[in-house]
């Protein structure tokens, strides 16, 4: 089925370790996003990519880097993980209808624990 594929589903890291979360979409969407979800905080935008070759910071970018490898793939990297980055991470993508984003399609999420 077409959609957003996110890996891994679960990960435990030690403080200071690095890792990359992978995201790929097969819907030919221009825009891709990384959100984190914490209890009581809702979904908060980390980084987004409006089109291939561009990336922009969201609300909570500190401690993260991203790469828009091609139109399909948008990865999120934690260079030196901290316990404050324990969260559930969601990748999403959207196309455009005129100038307005269509509904986002979300990946299944990555539950990350940093100990």
The token pair that represents 95 in the structure block = 């196309």
42 binds other proteins (CB under 8 A): yes
Considering CB under 8 A, how many residues would be counted as binding other proteins? 26
Judged by CB under 8 A, which stretch of 10-18, 62-70, 78-86, 106-114 contacts other proteins? Answer: 106-114
By CB under 8 A, tell whether 41 contacts other proteins. Answer: yes
Q: Which string of x and - marks every residue 48-87 that binds other proteins (by CB under 8 A)?
A: x-x-----x-x-----------------------------
Q: Rounded to an integer, what distance in angstroms lies between the CA atom of residue 102 and that of residue 70?
A: 21
Which residue, 72, 73, 71, 43, is CA-closest to 59? 43
- CB half-sphere exposure, 14, CA atoms < 13 A: 0
């Amino acid at each position: 089925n077409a959609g957003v594929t996110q890996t891994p589903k679960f990960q435990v890291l030690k403080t200071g370790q690095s890792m990359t979360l992978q995201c790929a979409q097969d819907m030919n969407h221009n825009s891709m996003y990384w959100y984190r979800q914490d209890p009581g905080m809702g979904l908060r935008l980390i980084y987004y990519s409006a089109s291939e070759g561009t990336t922009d910071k969201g609300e909570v970018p500190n401690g993260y880097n991203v790469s828009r490898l091609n139109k399909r793939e948008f990865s999120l990297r934690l260079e030196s993980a901290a316990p404050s980055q324990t969260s559930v991470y969601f990748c999403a993508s959207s196309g455009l209808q005129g100038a307005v984003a269509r509904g986002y399609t979300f990946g299944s999420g990555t539950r990350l624990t940093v100990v």
